[in-house]
Amino acid sequence: MSIPPEFDSSDRSHGSATRREALKTLGLAASVGVPLLAPMIATGSAAAQTADDYKAIVCVGQYGGNDQSNSVIPRSGAGYSSYQSARPTLAIPAANILPVTPTGFTGPELGFSPSLPGLRTLFEQGRCAVLANVGPLVEPITRAQWQAGTKPVPRQLFSHSDQFTIWESGLPDRTSQSGWLGRLGDVTAGAFNPNSQVSITMSIAGTTLILAGEQTIQYQVSPGGVVRVQDLTSLYGSAAGGAAVRQLLTQSRANLFESGFTTICSRAISNAGLVESALAAQPALTTAFPGTPLGAQARMVARMIGTRNQVAQKRQVFFISSGGWDTHNTLIEEHPGRLQELDGAISALYAATAEMGVANNVTIFTASEFGRCLQHNGRGSDHGWGGHHFIVGGAVQGRRIYGSWPTVALGGAEDAGNGALIPTTALDEYGATLARWFGASTAQQNTVMPNLSRFSRPNLGFLG
C-alpha cells in the first residue's frame, strides 16, 4: 500500500525505470467526465466573484488509514490513562505529547503527536483546526444501532480500496463515477474559470476518483513538472520523426473518432506548453519544502497556485497524497515518520501561500480511508472507521476542535469494536463545509455531496 520513494519524474529518457512514479498503489485509477471546452453558465452564488476572489482547496490523502489515536491525544489525567491502558505498547509518553489549547473545548486536555510540531504551531496560531471523528456514513448511526445492525453502513467497511474510494466519491451507499471534489469543480468551473483551458481540478498524485467530475476531467502534473509528449521534437534521434509525431497527433481528420482523438492530443500538447511556460515564469519561492515525496507534491501545488493568473483560474482544486499509513505492526517505527512528512509538507505549503500573499485564499485538508482501532495488537493497530483530520489555512477558524470528540477508551460511546470509531461527523458535512467556502451554493453543496440532507450540519463552521 505504500507509495514507493522514487519520485524523479524529470527523467524522461526512453526506458528509464524511474519514470514510473508508481502512484498506482491502490486501485484508484478513475477517469471520467469531459473536458472543459465550453464555459458553463454561471449559476447561483458561484457567480459572485471579484477581481481578487481567488480560492484553492488542497486535499492531502493519507493512503493506508491514519492512526488517529496517536495523532491527537488526551495528554493528562483520566483521558491519558484510558488511552495508555488501551494501547500500552503504542502509547506516546505523556511528557512527549505537544500540548494544544483549543478554545471553547470542554473535553480532555489534548496534545498532538511529537511528530506534528508544525501543525501544533499553526493550531496555536489559529491557522489549523481539528475535525474529530469524521468518516463516511450512509446516515447517522448510534452504537446501539451499529451493534443491532439496524442501520445501513458504508459498503466494505474496513477495506482499504473500497473505503478510500468512498472518501473520494462521497457516496458510501452506491457506486459512483465521480468524486466530490470533481463535482465541486463541475459546479464552480464555469462561473469562476470561464476562460481557462486547464481543468479546475489538478492532481499531483496520479489519477484519482476524487477529482473526477461528471464533466470535469482532472489535469495531471507530476511533482517534477508538466508531463509532455516526449518525442515531439525528436523521435529516436530524428527531427523528421518528431515532426511526424506532431503531425499525426494533431492533424485534423474527417472521421469523428480520429478527429476526437487528435483534438485531445492537441489540447494536451498545448496545455503542457501553457502550464510549463507559466511555471517557468514564476519567481522562485523562498519557502523551503522538505525533500520528501509529499513535500515535492506540496511544492508543485504552491507553484501551480503561482500560475493562477496565467492559466486564468480563480478557483483551483488540488490533490496530493502520501502512502505508508497502514501501520498494522509498524506503528511505533513508521507512524512518526509519516506524520513528520505530513507535518513538514503542510507547514511548508502554508508558509508558501503566505509568501505569495494568498494564505487566506488556500485551505488545506487531510483525508484517509479510515482511522484505526484504539486497541493495540502489540506493534500496531488495525483498520478502523472514523478518524481525526486537520484543516489548515488563513481562512480556517483555527485553534478549535470541531465535530464531537470521542471517548478515547475501549467500549466507549463510539466504539464499533476494538476501539474503531463510529463516526459522529459525516464526510458529507466535511466536504459540504469546504464546498460552501469555495463558493458552492446550498443547491450546489447537495450536488457535491448528494446525501448531505441526511445529516444536520451542512456547515461545520471551521471556515466561518
Near another protein in 230-249, by CB under 8 A: 230-231, 235-241, 243-245, 247-249
Site string for another protein, 144-173 (x = CB under 8 A): ----xxx----xx--x-xx--x--------
x-marked contacts with another protein along 272-291 as a string, rule CB under 8 A: x-------------------
CA dihedral of 453, 457, 463, 464, whole degrees rounded to 10: 120
Dihedral angle of Cα 446, 28, 167, 224, to the nearest 10 degrees:
-90
Tell whether residue 257 is a contact of another protein (CB under 8 A). Answer: yes
Binding another protein by CB under 8 A: which of 39, 103, 233, 258?
A: 258
Quickly tell me which residue has 463515477 as its cell: 177
Count interface residues toward another protein (CB under 8 A). Answer: 84
**41 near another protein, judged by CB under 8 A:** no
Nearest residue (CB) to another protein, 155 versus 328: 155
Distance separating alpha carbons of residues 124 and 51, to the nearest angstrom: 32
Separation between Cα atoms, residue 188 and residue 201, nearest integer Å = 11
* Binding of another protein by 225 (CB under 8 A): no
Between 20 and 125, CB nearer to another protein = 20
Nearest to 186 by CA among 210, 167, 208: 210
- Give the contact letters, 370-409, x = binds to another protein (CB under 8 A), - = no: ----------------------------------------
Which residue in 263, 282, 330, 404 binds another protein (CB under 8 A)? 263
CB 42 to another protein: min, Å = 18
By CB under 8 A, is residue 267 in contact with another protein? yes
Nearest distance in Å: CB 451, another protein: 16
The single residue among 11, 20, 48, 78 that binds another protein, judged by CB under 8 A, is: 20
Q: Which of 27, 77, 291, 411 binds another protein (CB under 8 A)?
A: 27
Which one, 10 or 125, has the nearer CB to another protein?
10
**Of these, 10, 89, 253, 333, which contacts another protein (CB under 8 A)?**
253
Long-range CB contacts (< 8 A, 24+ apart) of 152-155? none
